[in-house]
Amino acid sequence: MKTRSLIIIIFLFIFSPVAFAELKLTKEQDSRATELFKETRCLVCQSQTIYDSNSEMATDLKLYIIEQIIAGKSNYEIENQLVKNYGEWILMTPAFSQSNYFLWFGPFIILLLGAIMMLRYILKNNE
């Protein structure tokens, strides 16, 4: 009872409702949920995933993801739905889409160019 009275005192300061206590997941579903939580950005926080956040928004999204998992949707389908609803920003890892080709291939191009430049420098010096 003491716990409860203290909690009431600080109600005004803390907002983090948790409502999915009663939803039970299998072990496999649970790890999938965790994986998706870590991949989904909390839209109202600063660079936090919903996994790390306790905001209302994050809790709603967690609930949504759990419902979708229980409904039998795959991770891919859930991610697509999230992107459709909230935009690409919501996923922590950028999609491998046309506009992101340079982001994904850039590192390899630079690594290769760097290697060529380095070898050319060495060869030029050895002339």
Partner 1 sequence: MSLGNLGNILMLTCLLASLIQALYLIYPHTSFGKININYRVLTRIIFITCLASFLLLIYLFLESNFNYQLVVNNSHSEKPLIYKIAGAWGNHEGSLLLWILVLSFFNFVFLETKIKNTEFKKYVISFQSLMIFGFTLFLLLTSNPFLATENITNEGLGLNPILQDLLLAIHPPILYVGYVGYSIVLSFAVGGMITNKIDQEWARWLHPWVIVSWIFLTAGIGLGSFWAYYELGWGGYWFWDPVENASLMPWLAGTALFHCVIILEKKNILQSWVILLSILTFSLSLIGTFLVRSGILNSVHTFASDPSRGLFILVFLAIILIISFTLYAIKAPTLDKKSKINIVSKEAGILANNWLLLSSLFVVFLGTLYPLAVDLFLQKSISVGPNYYVLSLMPILLLLLLIMIVGPVSKWQNDKLTNILFSISKLFILSLAIIFAFSIYFSELKLTQITLLTLCLTLMLVSIKNGIRTNRNYSIISPSLGKSLAHIGFGLLILSVIANTTFATEKIFQAQVDDLLVIDNYKFKFDKVNQTKGKNFNAVTATFSLLDNKTVIETFKPEIRIYSNPPTVTSETSIVRKFLADIYIVMNIPENADFVNVRIHIKPMMSFIWLSIILMVLGGISSIFFRIKLIK
If the CB atoms of residues 8 and 72 are measured against partner 1, the closer one turns out to be 8
- Interaction of residue 121 with partner 1, rule CB under 8 A: yes
Cα(59)–Cα(53) distance, rounded to whole angstroms? 8
- As given in the structure block, the two tokens for residue 19 are 């409502």
- Which of 44, 87, 101, 120: binder of partner 1 (CB under 8 A)? 87
Does the footprint of partner 1 cover residue 115 (CB under 8 A)?
yes
DSSP string across the chain = -HHHHHHHHTTTT------GGG----HHHHHHHHHHHHHBB-TTSSS-BTTT--SHHHHHHHHHHHHHHHTT--HHHHHHHHHHHH-GGGBSSPPS-GGGHHHHHHHHHHHHHHHHHHHHHHHHHH-
Q: Is 74 in the site for partner 1 (CB under 8 A)?
A: no
> Is 24 among the residues that bind partner 1 (CB under 8 A)?
no
Strand partners of residue 41: 49
Contacting residue, 33, 36, 39, 69, with partner 1 by CB under 8 A? 39
Give least dist CB 75 to partner 1, A.
Answer: 14
How many residues touch partner 1 under the rule CB under 8 A: the total is: 50
Contacting residues toward partner 1, per CB under 8 A: 2-4, 6-7, 9-11, 13-18, 21, 39, 41, 46-49, 52, 54, 87-95, 99-100, 102-104, 106-108, 110-111, 114-115, 117-118, 121-122, 125-126
